[in-house]
Amino acid sequence: MAGSNFGEILRISTWGESHGAAVGAVIDGCPSGLDINEEYVQGFLNRRRPGQSAFTTQRSEADAVNIMSGVYEGKTLGTPISMMVENQSQISKDYSDLENIYRPGHADYGFQMKYGIRDHRGGGRSSGRETIGRVMGGAVAEKILEKLGVSFTAYVSKIGNVEIDRSRFDKNEIMRNSLFMPDCIAAAEAEAYLSDLIEKKDSSGAEVECIVTGLKPGIGEPVFDKLDARIAGAVMSIGGVKAVEIGDGCAVSSAVGSVNNDKFRMSDGAVTKETNHAGGILGGMSDGSDIIVRVSFKPTPSIYQRQNTVTKDGEDTEIEIHGRHDPIIAPRAVVVVESMIALAIADLYMLNSVSRMDRLTDIYSK
């Protein structure tokens, strides 16, 4: 199938299905000499691993990564990096009654119409397990960006109508609660809300926010490969994402220019901005401020309530989905959002390295 690749210089290709033997990724274009090992990548995968709370699928998977190529003695070789995670807890019989039925809110119908065949077990390539490959690639991209002084803070900012209070923002709280929220009070309220939805056999939508700090100004191409366009495309490619905002996002439609414009000023000899309504991006290029991205996830479509649907033969029917499903997508998707943004930014950093002649001479005249 087309469309399983992302990036121009730093390229990632993901492969595998939810109920196949394994899932994985091939990352090409990574420079040699980067410190990468399985323990480092595993730390990223553990953040999206299922079965860690009552608010995630109880599918029991270790998600243990195996680096198969491209790394020797903890250093990248500059060759393609291939990573794999074996699927160990598939219960395909849970999906046996879905072979001839289209699940509401899922990609079943689209797959059938496009390919004339589909893997009904867990959603195949549309399953959340496909994101394992993205996280592997994101781990590599973040290591590259870490060397360049770029860092990431990603978290769940809203679940249903429960939103974090930014006056209580505590970065250390993100890893202390199962919902990855930086506000312990909001996290407790969201847990109560989700517990009630689980009792009702329902699911919730949510919002993930990612702040990227330390980007040099001028990253991004000014026309079709704008930094915000590449970030939006990267994040919109994640299953379940229905909207992406940069900076003030949709609120700019009701703003006025005198307020929305971020005024420049000098601070300690450097150009800075008084505000950051633009979310760190102007004209498709980074402006040196924090990049602020908000991502809206739809409610998990696999719910245990009886729903109306149709069969492959065009007959109306009802469905009651079984199996193990997340009542909310966002907590496990935090690291996926972060990973896709990192891949987009790292690729544009590499493209930016050839935008000026003096940078080429710095490399090749030594």
Q: Where residue 298 sits, what CATH number does that domain have?
A: 3.60.150.10
pLDDT in tens, 145-191: 999 999 999 999 999 999 999 999 999 999 999 999 999 999 999 99
Supply the pLDDT for residue 56: 64
pLDDT in tens, 286-339: 999 999 999 999 998 888 888 999 998 899 999 887 765 778 999 999 999 999
Query: Who's near 327: CB < 8 A, 6+ residues apart?
Result: 55, 194, 197, 198, 202, 203, 204, 300
Supply the pLDDT for residue 100: 86
Q: Give the range of the structural domain holding residue 291, as residue numbers without chain letter.
A: 5-364
Whether 60 has a pLDDT exceeding 60, the answer reads: no
Looking at residues 85-89, what average pLDDT do you find?
A: 85
Supply the pLDDT for residue 127: 83
3-state secondary structure of 76: strand
Supply the pLDDT for residue 21: 87
- Return the biggest CA–CA distance within the chain: 71
Burial of 4 (0-12, 13-18, 19+ CB in 10 A): middle
Whether 78 has a pLDDT exceeding 80, the answer reads: yes
Supply the pLDDT for residue 126: 82
The rounded percent of the chain whose pLDDT value lies above 70 is: 93
The rounded percent of the chain whose pLDDT value lies above 90 is: 74
Looking at residues 59-85, what average pLDDT do you find?
A: 92
CA dist 232 and 246 (Å) reads 8
Whether 281 has a pLDDT exceeding 60, the answer reads: yes
pLDDT in tens, 191-202: 999 999 999 989
Whether 132 has a pLDDT exceeding 70, the answer reads: yes
Categorize the per-residue pLDDT at 13 as very low, low, confident or very high, splitting at 50, 70 and 90: very high
Please give the tally of structural domains in the chain: 1
